Amino acid sequence: MKDFFKQMFATIAGILVLTIVTGILGVMSIVGMVASGSATKNVSDNTVLVINLQGVMEERAEDNIMAELTGQTMQNIGLDDMLNAIEKAKNNENIKGIYIEAGLFSVDSYASMQAVRRALADFRKSGKWIVAYGDTYTQGTYYLASVADKVLLNPSGQIDWHGVAAQPMFLKDLMAKFGIKMQLAKVGKYKSAPEMFTADGMSEPNREQMTAYIKGIWENVCKEVSASRKISVETLNTYADNFITLDDTKNYVKYKMADKLVYTDEIKDEIRKMMKLDKDDDINTVGLADMKQLKGGKDKGDEIAVYYAYGDIVDSEAGGSMMSQGHKIVGTKVCKDLEKLMNDDDVKAVVLRVNSGGGSAYASEQIWHSVKKLKEKKPVVVSMGGMAASGGYYISCVSNWIVAEPTTLTGSIGIFGMFPDMSGLLTQKLGVKFDEVKTNKYSAFGTQARPFNEEEMAYLNAYIDRGYNLFRNRVAEGRKMKTENVEKLAQGRVWLGQDAWRNKLVDELGGLDKAVAKAAALAKVKEYHTAAYPAKADWMEQFMNKASGGSYIDNSMRAALGEYYEPFMLLKDINKQNAIQARIPYIIKVK
């Protein structure tokens, strides 16, 4: 028996030792792969940058070490990485052109696509070429690809061209089935975010603003495609009205939407022609991941910090948000980060890159205060991405200068409070009974046993009014406008960047590069470089996050629910959000 236990314990010890050694070797392997992947690389002559439009492009994507290790092809692409890669390719004499391959590609906004398209157009102006190919072009990928010297299409392919539509979703009746309804206090006739929970359809003010901005987006798309493809805007609208998406493929060349129909094995020959190579010559290629490790110039001059603030604005890391699974602007963290930048003498100016539809009004006010303090010590320039609206505009308005894309969604100056009444669920659906004793008139304020009464709602409305007046005054102060002039642009109205510029809510139209240049000018520095903040998660943080399984469950839910994922998450986290919100309409699906 003793020998048995000795052998058993020896076996267990051996398994433990083997597990530990295997784990150490695994970690060492990961470290080795990370180290080799981060090594700087050179580019051979006659090289082509390959941009595979596949996956999801977001404001700033983490370097997904686990995806690289597991060989995943559908990865998130950072807008920052995309723009940096195109800029490096433009300045590298060994990279002769760009090959764009259209695939299943999703982007958070037309403003992000506009930034990429402008970078591609700038690449062409340097004297280099771009070739695009697609088995099928979505409208978004075609918008990007249309800037190319040659737009190639599979003979059995398709170009989707149909215009822009917005289809807001309304959940009031769904919630009623569970005995839940929303009690609303808001300021601003255009503040339409709560309509999802309180209405059956769009209000007329909401319809007015949504019509204005989707028309503005489409006008920008048509104007830019028209300039590249030499097709009139009127003709492009005719194509959309005739729904050429389902047309005969040969007609796309006739319509000048494509230059040539080719199969995939013929693409290399088209690229060789652009490079003036012989038929059997090899083509050297680099991808977006390679461009991150491409040797570049040293960081010279003074530092301009670019701080990325994107996603829902929430009070704290622990606090819930309406889209709790995505990246968040955490008020407590951002305030601390901005204080560090303020006290860093090596940082001469800060560009705040904002891509947010807002969120917590309280957190927005705290960040506003931090931006104001930072501005007192060094220049602060805001670069707006796809959205910088409501709370996103709140944190932007105090800066020295605001740069927005023409199709950025901004403004939405207004706030609301939304309070779920679950008494119907509890008392009627579940049969829960309540009784009450109290010491004072409002001791039971906020109880789940009943909805707010008229007097309680009056207090809430007065509280929301004060918050709206504060927001409006912040804008008036930051933009150096009279309060009554701000009021004409407020009431929760959402503006396109180009319209906000005309109304002096922003100072300039353009991308991050213009914002950086303005920050340098305000700081009076001639030679400078940029540094991105906050730092991205390192490989160990990513490994630990993956091990928790949360992201796997989230990705599975996204795949299963599709466009219904966000509404599901709204309902799931409805009690976790800050009740007072400065937010754009919750889910804007532009199709």
Active site residues: 191, 390
C-alpha 519 chain-centroid distance: 23
Q: Which of 287, 355, 341 is nearest to 79 (CA)?
A: 355
DSSP 571: H
Q: Cα torsion at 513, 519, 525, 531 (round to 10°)?
A: -60
Contact 587, 371 (CB under 8 A): no
- Neighbouring C-alpha atoms within 13 Å toward the C-beta of 460: 21
- 3 state SS of 492: coil
Contact 144, 110 (CB under 8 A): no
Q: Which of 306, 278, 286 is nearest to 383 (CA)?
A: 306
What are the angstrom distances between the C-alpha of 8 and each of 3, 22, 81? 8, 21, 54
Beta bridge partners of 98: 49, 130
Query: Token pair of 309, please?
Result: 């603030």
The region, left, alpha or beta by phi > 0 then psi within -120 to 50, assigned to residue 188 is left
Q: Which of 494, 390, 411, 416 is nearest to 198 (CA)?
A: 416
Q: Which of 281, 274, 345, 337 is nearest to 309 (CA)?
A: 337
**Sole residue written with tokens 């723009």:** 83
Query: Token pair of 416, please?
Result: 């609301």
Query: Token pair of 567, please?
Result: 């509404």
Q: What is the rounded distance in angstroms from the CA atom of residue 10 to the CA atom of residue 67?
A: 37
In sequence order, what DSSP letters do the residues of 186-216 get, joined into one string?
E--TT--TTHHHH-SS--HHHHHHHHHHHHH
Contact 491, 189 (CB under 8 A): yes
